[in-house]
Homo-oligomer: A and B are copies of this chain.
Amino acid sequence: MALASVIGVGSTKYGKLPSTFIELVTQAATEALSDAGIGPDEIEGMYLGNFAGESFIGQNHLAAYVASALGLQGVPATRVEGACASGSLAIRQAIFAIKSGFCKRVLVIGAEKMTSLPTSGVTHVLAQASNKDLEVNAGLTFPGVFALAAQRHMYRYGTTREHLAAVAVKNHDHALLNPKAHLHKKISMEEVCGCPDMVAAPLNRYDCSLISDGASAMVLCAPELAGDYKQPIIDIIGSAQASGEFEIFASPELTSFPAARIAAEKAYEMAGVQPNDISFAEVHDCFTIAEIIATEDLGFFKPGEGGPAALAGKTRLCGSIPINPSGGLKAKGHPVGSTGVGQGVEVIYQLRGQAGERQVQDARIGLTHNIGGSGGTCTVHIYKRREQN
């Protein structure tokens, strides 16, 4: 049964952009409203996913700021934050607002303006998603967290440098087909494996996602109203979220995010589907190892088989389960608060058959997987194209 339906989507290009935060948001929201064929006056609620406007742009209370700029005076506007999963949490709250009967049509926006700070500043801001006292002050930032996961995955399952590289090469290839991706740069296995710019061993520069600006938006409505709008109807049939241990040292294992497994299980159950029913997925590849773990946590591959599957091409656009057709966080870009919504936007394009050169064949059911911090916040959403009568 549909929880809510998506009737409009929009997104800025992701990248190092000259636009201000409010310009990015306005562009994405306007495109989504236009895509739905409605005006701001038909919106009854607004959610904004944003991680760190305070630090990145020196502006807080951003939902009200955005509502005011978009002409949504009178409409409830709420910012939600869950680190890199902020966008997906915004989608979830919109679903709740609709399913509870409070709202008929809700605008969801995810946005982050990151490139206003130098890279060292961005790393510091991102690190606030982990435990400041017990992790950051001990020198651990996110590249280190995921390097630990990669080392452990290699030790436990025999995952190799080439497995990680295959994820990077594939996502760069996919991004070449996505006009809105941050990077359009083909890379080779040799370049990735031989890259001398080590970030945190074994992760080098090509294993890391990007620092991007960007905004994405979706218009959701009550399922029974979806037929009133012009686009092919996409229903959200599963939405789950779980919290994990906040600190990586407290996690029972480093090769899986337990909360992602919980969220996946709940979302599958809610949607009444199995992993092998999923046509494709947008997953949280903040680092290459994270995509491998995601494909295992989601049940697409058994633990330890994610790396070999990537190397064998199973997760490519033409593979058995295409992963990150958009290019992912790795090459499409990762404007933190926007990412979860951007994943949803890609799923909508794919399920509508509007994904152009990167179209997944026979895309029927799409999944998004979005995590915050070291797996402290994990979400899974499942979308399905509604069959025409």
Which A residues fall within an 8 A CB radius of B? 46, 51-52, 54-55, 57-61, 63-65, 67-69, 72-83, 89, 92-93, 95-102, 125, 128-132, 240-247, 250, 258-259, 262, 372-373, 376-377
Contact = CB atoms under 8 A, between A and B. Distances in A.
Contact of A60 (B46, B128, B245, B250): B128
Contacts of A100: 95-96, 98-100
A377 B99 contact: no
A72 to B, nearest CB: 6
16 contacts: A55-B55, A60-B125, A61-B128, A65-B131, A68-B246, A68-B376, A72-B243, A73-B245, A76-B241, A78-B82, A78-B89, A78-B241, A79-B81, A80-B93, A96-B97, A98-B100
Chief secondary structure at chain A's binding surface? mixed
B74 A262 contact: yes
B67 A243 contact: yes
Contacts of A65: 131, 246, 376
Nearest to A57: B132
Q: Nearest 6 CB-CB pairs, A to B?
A: A64-B376, A68-B246, A99-B100, A76-B241, A60-B128, A96-B96
Contacts of A81: 60-61, 63, 78-81
Contact of A79 (B80, B245, B246): B80
Nearest to A99: B100
Contact of A377 (B63, B95, B102, B250): B63
Contacts of A78: 80-82, 89, 92-93, 241
A73 B81 CA distance: 18
Contact of A68 (B89, B95, B247): B247
Most buried by B among A63, A78, A250: A78
A119 to B, nearest CB: 18
A248 B58 CA distance: 19
A309 to B, nearest CB: 28
A75 B263 CA distance: 10
Contacts of A262: 74
Contact of A61 (B46, B75, B97, B373): B373
B243 A74 contact: yes
A243 B64 contact: yes
Contacts of A82: 61, 63-64, 77-79
Contacts of A68: 243-247, 250, 376
Contacts of A240: 76
A288 to B, nearest CB: 22
Contacts of A101: 99
A364 to B, nearest CB: 25
Nearest to A240: B76
Given A63-B82, A72-B243, A243-B76, A58 B128 contact: yes
